[in-house]
Amino acid sequence: MGRIATRVLAKRAIAVAITVAMVLVAASCASGPAGPEPVGALWARRSAAVMASDHVAFMATVDPEAPAPFRQAQERLFAGLSSVPFAVYAVSHDGVRWRLDGFPADTPVVFDSLRYETIVRDGSRYVSGQAPGAATQLWDYGPLAVVESDASTVIVATDGAVVTGRPSELSSIVAGAQASLVAAGLGPHLPERALVMATPVEAHLAAILQVDGDLSRFNAFTVTGPVPLIVVNDAVVAGLPVADQTITLAHELVHVVGFGVAGDAPPVWLLEGLAEWYAHDRPPPGPSPSPGPTSLPSDDEFLSASVDVVQSAYGRASSAIAFLAERRGSDAPLRLLEVIGEGASEAEAFDAVWGGPRADFEASWVEAAS
Ligand SMILES: [Zn+2]
């Protein structure tokens, strides 16, 4: 997991790979002359069972004497895994590497840090536990509905709250968002295929994103990585009008573009301003509420616990991006991120794209917006 940006962003979090020493418990019973099964053979059996959707073979990798809750969790995991079309699913000592069907063969695999504990019984090795706090994915929580279209894979949790038809509806909304961004000229920067996961269960969102706190006001998140992942809080988003859902997905897709051109650490206000501006179909700088803005938003404002502060930050970021586009051309905002992606600082990028210091840009925007 990489950096996370979100439409209503209270917290940017970098998923921390939690490393816990794998516990290998040696059996006290005598083993045959061949010795216990090598741990690599266990991973190979488990990986093959997932790829073959072989329930018996998968559960045969789980310690038969493991506590019932762990075995039940493994059953849920298998149900989830077997509902997802994997091109690659490979367990190893440090985690899981995976790639979904439909993505170009040269797409890098995604790596989820994960440590299983293993145990040897009568010469056979089993998965006996999982280090707490390890990365989870939507498939840890049970069966999923998957919709593969030309340019996206949409995976939706099939919890009881999911209404019939939601997976195909969300797939259509993603396609609509992609079409709007292609029309806005971002086509060459969009990934060939988008990966979107949605769940209405906020506890699962928190575990997947490895963030704490109240997620009820988050619409969606973009996680950077070899394959950028858009995670949708469907407890919120599924209830919005389709037009607003399309804006939400377009916003996240622009984050995918933003991270792609600027690397993993562009200034937050540029990332959010660009996403809002494109998602709302590149509006001209509108009249500002009185009193007008006095400064560009700081990164901290996007993290504020105050809804008013956060909304102001998004509004000013979008307004400033619109102003830049009006004065320097509609490609100027994206160009700013591209220059940063080439290694320039934010100040150097303003010199290159605005043609002067960032403070000069800020003053011009404040004057125009007041
Ligand atoms: Zn955002």
Q: Express each pLDDT in 253-263 by its tens digit.
A: 999 999 999 98
Given the candidates 1.20.1630, 1.20.140, 3.40.50, 3.10.450, the CATH classification of the domain at 18-134 is 3.10.450
The SS3 call for residue 222 is: strand
Distance 366 CA to ligand 1 centre (A): 23
pTM of the model: 0.88
Point out the least confidently predicted range of 88-92, 111-115, 131-135, 164-168: 131-135
Residue 33 pLDDT: 55
Distance 18 CA to ligand 1 centre (A): 26
The yes-or-no verdict on residue 19 having pLDDT over 80 is no
Distance 217 CA to ligand 1 centre (A): 13
Mean pLDDT score, 254-281: 94
Whole-number average pLDDT of the chain? 88
- Confidence class for position 17, pLDDT limits 50, 70, 90: very low
Residue 30 pLDDT: 41
Decide which of 33 and 150 is more confident: 150
- CA nearest to 209, candidates 73, 10, 50: 10
Distance 2 CA to ligand 1 centre (A): 15
Distance 256 CA to ligand 1 centre (A): 10
The SS3 call for residue 39 is: helix
Mean pLDDT score, 191-207: 93
Distance 158 CA to ligand 1 centre (A): 26
- Confidence class for position 136, pLDDT limits 50, 70, 90: confident
Mean pLDDT score, 270-290: 90
Give backbone dihedrals phi and psi of 84, rounded to 5 degrees, phi first.
-110, 135
Residue 23 pLDDT: 28
Residue 9 pLDDT: 35
Distance 180 CA to ligand 1 centre (A): 17
CA 56, 58, 64, 70: dihedral to nearest 10 degrees?
-130
Residue 28 pLDDT: 34
Distance 37 CA to ligand 1 centre (A): 48
- CA 238 from centroid of its chain's CA atoms: 18
Distance 124 CA to ligand 1 centre (A): 48
Residues 132/70, Cβ–Cβ less than 8 Å = no
Distance 343 CA to ligand 1 centre (A): 22
Distance 96 CA to ligand 1 centre (A): 28
Residue 100 pLDDT: 96
Point out the least confidently predicted range of 26-35, 134-143, 159-168: 26-35
Domain coordinates in residue numbering, the chain = 1-15+136-262, 18-134, 266-370
Distance from C-alpha of 115 to C-alpha of 102, rounded to nearest angstrom:
28
Q: Ranked by mean pLDDT, which of 81-90, 135-144, 302-311 comes out on top?
A: 81-90
- CA nearest to 12, candidates 245, 278, 301: 301
Distance from C-alpha of 95 to C-alpha of 93, rounded to nearest angstrom:
6
The yes-or-no verdict on residue 16 having pLDDT over 50 is no
The yes-or-no verdict on residue 11 having pLDDT over 90 is no
Point out the least confidently predicted range of 62-66, 238-242, 292-296: 292-296
Tell me what percent of the residues of the chain surpass a pLDDT of 90: 72
Distance from C-alpha of 210 to C-alpha of 255, rounded to nearest angstrom:
19
Contacts of 14 (CB under 8 A, 6+ apart): 1, 2, 3, 4
Distance from C-alpha of 160 to C-alpha of 347, rounded to nearest angstrom:
50
